[in-house]
Amino acid sequence: MLSIIMCFSCIIFLTAIEDMSLLLIIVEVTSAFGTTGLSLGITEELTTIGKLVITVLMFIGRVSMLYTIMLFIPKKPSNSGYRYPTEKIIIG
């Protein structure tokens, strides 16, 4: 669901800032998220912000949405309730 929401919001955003048809933008966004390598050749005609959105979509599509979300969640230190023994070992 998060991936669908993200792709849909990127389509809406790119439609608002770019002067391209909706079908071309949908193909470009789904191709970028799926990292298929397909393109209709409009990537080079996009503005800098549009190219940045496509690049972020490619990264998130490659890494996956779950790992991308885990980047922003702080890790809690684990206290497992045990500690390793320490001892002075005499050699010789």
Q: Tens of pLDDT along 30-65?
A: 999 998 888 888 989 999 999 999 999 999 988 888
- Looking at 18-75, list the stretches that DSSP marks H as alpha helix, in order from N- to C-terminal side: 22-34, 48-63, 65-71
pTM for this model (two decimals): 0.72
pLDDT at 23: 95
The pLDDT-based confidence of 17 (bands split at 50, 70, 90) is very high
Fill in the DSSP letter of residue 56.
H
Contact (CB, 8 A) for 51 and 43 = yes
Inform me whether the pLDDT recorded for 87 exceeds 80.
Answer: yes
Q: Give which of 56, 67, 71, 54 is closest to 20, Cα–Cα.
A: 54
Q: Can you give the residue ranges of every domain in the chain?
A: 2-71
Give me the torsion for CA of 25, 27, 29, 30, rounded to 10°: 160
**Each residue's pLDDT tens digit, 53-62:** 999 999 998 8
Cβ neighbours of residue 41 closer than 8 Å, sequence gap 6 or more: none
